[in-house]
Chains A and B, each alone.
Chain A
C-alpha cells in the first residue's frame, strides 16, 4: 500500500493479458508463437505420420482434408499436417541461425565503428552501404546460387545479406552513449577499449538489437520460404513450407489444401513475429521516455 497512486500508467485501456509490459497484440503474438513452437517441438507426438513428415511417400495421394489427414495429403501421399510440422522445425531453425549469424557479425562491427569513429567507422560503414545497396532477397538468391545447396550455405546466403542492419543499429546506439561521462571516465582511468565496449556499451545495444532480431525472425522465415519456393532451398524431400507451396501451386485451385495450409503457416508465423517485435519496441520506447522524463536534471 506504499504505492497507493499508480505512478506510470500508460494511457488507454488496461490490457487484459499482459506479459512484461507488452500490449494486447504483443501478448497474443507471443502466445501464438509459443503455441507454434510447442507444436513443432512436439511434432512426432502430434501426427500419426512422422515418417511422412520427413519425406516418405504415403499410400493416398492428393486426398482432401479428412479426419485421417486433417490438412489433406500431397502429390506423393504425404500427410500435409506432418509435412508442415516438420517444415516448421526447419523454418524456425533456419530463421534463428540466420538472425544469430547477422547479430554476431553485425553488432560487434557496429560497436567498433561507433566507438573508434574516424577511418574505422568509414571503412565499416561503406561496406555496410555496399551490402544495403542490394535488396536482401536478391543478394540471398545470388549467394545461394553461388554457394550451392545445403543448410549451412542457405544460412550463409541469407545471413550475409542481413548483418548490415545490426551494424547500423549498434553504431547508432554507441554514438549516443559514446560521449557520456561514464564512458569518458572509464577511458581516463585507462580501461581497455575492448572492456569499455563490452561492459559499458554492449548493454545499451542489447535492447534495440533484440527488438530488431524479433522482427527479423519473421522476415527470415519469409526469406527462407521464398528461396525454397524458387528452388534454391534444401533439396527435396526435406520438408519446407516454401517448397510445399512451390510443389502444390500447380494443383490450385482443385486441390486447394496443398498451398493453403503451408501458406497459412508462413503467414501466421511471420505476422506473429512482426507484431511481437513491434510490441516490444513500443513498450521499450515508452519505458525509455518515462525513464528520461523522470531523470533528475
Chain B
C-alpha cells in the first residue's frame, strides 16, 4: 500500500511538472535519509529536517568551509554585505534585491524583522542563538539593523543551521502545524511539492528563484526516509537512490567497489559520547566516572570497529572547531587504574549495576555499548544495554534525573559553528533539563563558558581561550565518556556532479549545486 502511495505521489508530481512542458523530462534526484523529519517549521526546527529546510529557505549569511585547508568564511546569503558598529551593538545588513518568497511576497527588511521575531516568540530549542538581539529595525526595504543588548557575532549566528531561516511575513500567526502539513514560505531554490511525515518529502524547483540554475541542474528532489540500513544500501546500489547517509561502516569498502557509486567523506563537526548521570550515585563521584572512562576500549572502537574512520574525542568540542583544546585530558584504556579508582571509591567488585540507553536502528551506538559492557565486566561493573527510540530515551532522561539512565549515548552537531553549542547546550547548568543530559553543574565551568560567550564578538582569540580552558576543565571532570569525533560519510551516485557537503549544515544536500 505504502509503495503504491509513493508511486502515486511520485507520478502525480512528475506529471504536474511535465504537463506544461512535455517536451523535456525533468531531472530527478533521490536521496535517502535514515530518520524522519520532525519539525518543518523553520523557526523552531532542531534536527535532521534541515535536509529540507536548507533547500527551501535561505539565511542572511552562509557558513562556508575553507577549501584546501584555508580558513572558513561567511558568504552572502540573502544579505549581500554586513557591518558592525564601533561598540559592537549595532549590526547592519544590506539585503539582496529582487528576491521573492515562494508565495510571491518580495523579500524585504520587514521579512528579516518578522523572521527573527517569530523565532524569538516561538522559543524553539535553538532560539537562544538570538539572545542578544533586542530589536530589528527597518530603515529601508533593503536594510535590516539588529540592535543588541550585548556584543554577539550576529553574522556568524545568522549562518546558523537552525532557527535563522528567512520566512515570508505572509505566514502571519500560523504555527508549526501549517509547516508540518507540507507548506513552505521561503526564498530557496526549491519548494515543497509533497510531504508525508516519516515517509518522504518531494521538493520541486522554484521558477522565480533569484539565483542561477546550474547546467544540468535537477528539477525535482525526492527525499526518502528509510530507517532500515539494509534497504538504504540496496537502494543506493540498485540505482534507486542517488545519495544516502548512515551506511554500515563495515560495508563501505564494498559499496565503493560498485562502479556506479562512490563513498565520499567530508570533515564534520560531529561527535559521539555517553553522558554520565552526575545527578545520582555512584556517578556523582568523580573517581567512579574516571574509572568508567579509563575502562573504555577507545583503540578497539576507533581503529577496529570504526575502521579508523573516526578519531578519538578529546573533550566535548570536536577537533577543528575554535575552542577545541588539543591538550585537554584524554582517557585511554587502563583497567588496573580503573579497578584501583573503584576500590578507592569504596565500590566492591560486582556491586555496581548501571544502565546505558542508546537509539535503536543505528548500528554504531549498539556496537559501542556492547564493547563497553564487555570491558566493564572485566572491572566488575555490570552494564545493562537499553536500546530505545530517540523520543523515549529523551523523555526518560528529561523526566527525573534520579530515575533516569546512568549513561546516555548520543551524537551532537552544532547549531552554528561554535564550541559554545557543545559546551553550553550540553554541559552548562540548567534549571529545566534540555540537553545537559549528564545534569552536570560546575559554577567554575559555567563562568568560563559565559566568559567565552561574552567575548565571542569582540575578541575571538580571548573567546577561544576561554572555551579551551572550559574544555580542559570539562574533560578532566569527566561528565561524559567522550568517544569519537567523526567525519560525514555518504554514498553518492557517480551520475551526480558537483556534490559538496558543508559541515555547518549536517547531512544537507544543496540541491541547487548538484547536476547530473
A residues sitting closer than 8 Å to B (CB atoms) are: 55-57, 61-62, 75-76, 149, 231, 235-237, 247, 249-252, 254
Interface contacts beyond A56-B374, A76-B367, A237-B373: sample of 13 additional A-B pairs, CB < 8 Å, sorted by A: A55-B373, A57-B300, A57-B374, A76-B305, A231-B360, A231-B387, A237-B385, A247-B363, A249-B230, A250-B233, A250-B248, A251-B248, A254-B254
B304 within 8 A of partner (CB): yes
How would residues 267 to 307 of chain B score, 1 for a CB under 8 Å from any chain A CB and 0 otherwise? 00000000000000000000000000000000010001100
Q: How far is the CB of A258 from chain B (nearest CB, A)?
A: 10
Q: Check A235–B374 contact: CB distance below 8 A.
A: no
Q: Which residues of chain A are within 8 angstroms of B251 by Cβ–Cβ distance?
A: 250-251, 254
B371 within 8 A of partner (CB): yes
Of the candidates A61, A235, A250, A254, which one forms a contact with B387 in the assembled complex, judged by CB atoms under 8 Å apart?
A235
Of the candidates B250, B369, B373, which one forms a contact with A62 in the assembled complex, judged by CB atoms under 8 Å apart?
B250
Q: Which residues of chain B are within 8 angstroms of A75 by Cβ–Cβ distance?
A: 250, 363, 367
Q: Check B386–A250 contact: CB distance below 8 A.
A: no
Q: How far, in whole Å, are A6 and B316 apart by their CA atoms in the complex?
A: 85
Sorted from nearest, which 5 A-B pairs have the closest CB atoms?
Answer: A235-B385, A56-B374, A250-B248, A237-B370, A250-B229
B366 within 8 A of partner (CB): yes
Q: Which residues of chain A are within 8 angstroms of B170 by Cβ–Cβ distance?
A: none
Q: How far is the CB of A286 from chain B (nearest CB, A)?
A: 47
- Which residue from chain B places its CB closest to the CB of A51 in the assembled complex? B374
B343 within 8 A of partner (CB): no
Q: Check A55–B374 contact: CB distance below 8 A.
A: yes
Q: How far, in whole Å, are A251 and B369 apart by their CA atoms in the complex?
A: 20
B384 within 8 A of partner (CB): yes
Q: How far, in whole Å, are A76 and B251 apart by their CA atoms in the complex?
A: 14
Q: Check A236–B250 contact: CB distance below 8 A.
A: no
Q: Check A237–B374 contact: CB distance below 8 A.
A: yes
Q: Which residues of chain A are within 8 angstroms of B384 by Cβ–Cβ distance?
A: 235
Q: How far, in whole Å, are A56 and B300 apart by their CA atoms in the complex?
A: 13
Q: How far is the CB of B396 from chain A (nearest CB, A)?
A: 11
Q: List 29 A-B contacts (CB under 8 A).
A: A55-B370, A55-B373, A55-B374, A56-B374, A56-B377, A57-B370, A57-B371, A61-B250, A61-B304, A61-B305, A75-B363, A75-B367, A76-B370, A149-B386, A231-B361, A231-B387, A235-B384, A235-B385, A235-B386, A236-B369, A236-B370, A236-B387, A237-B385, A249-B230, A250-B229, A250-B251, A251-B248, A251-B251, A252-B230
Q: Which residues of chain A are within 8 angstroms of B366 by Cβ–Cβ distance?
A: 236
Q: How far, in whole Å, are A125 and B113 apart by their CA atoms in the complex?
A: 68
Q: How far is the CB of B301 from chain A (nearest CB, A)?
A: 10
Q: Which residues of chain B are within 8 angstroms of A56 by Cβ–Cβ distance?
A: 374, 377
A76 touching B371 in the complex, CB below 8 Å, given contacts A61-B304, A250-B233: yes
Q: How far, in whole Å, are A57 and B377 apart by their CA atoms in the complex?
A: 12
Q: How far is the CB of B408 from chain A (nearest CB, A)?
A: 15
- Which residue from chain B places its CB closest to the CB of A237 in the assembled complex? B370
Q: Which of B254, B360, B370 has the most CB of A within 10 A?
A: B370
Q: Which residues of chain A are within 8 angstroms of B387 by Cβ–Cβ distance?
A: 231, 235-236
Q: How far is the CB of B424 from chain A (nearest CB, A)?
A: 33
Q: Check A250–B370 contact: CB distance below 8 A.
A: no
- Which residue from chain A places its CB closest to the CB of B366 in the assembled complex? A236
Q: How far is the CB of B494 from chain A (nearest CB, A)?
A: 21
Q: How far, in whole Å, are A61 and B386 apart by their CA atoms in the complex?
A: 24
Q: Which residues of chain B are within 8 angstroms of A55 by Cβ–Cβ distance?
A: 370, 373-374
Q: Which residues of chain B are within 8 angstroms of A61 by Cβ–Cβ distance?
A: 250, 304-305
- Which residue from chain B places its CB closest to the CB of A77 in the assembled complex? B304
Q: How far, in whole Å, are A75 and B363 apart by their CA atoms in the complex?
A: 10
How would residues 354 to 394 of chain B score, 1 for a CB under 8 Å from any chain A CB and 0 otherwise? 00000011010011011101100100000011110000000
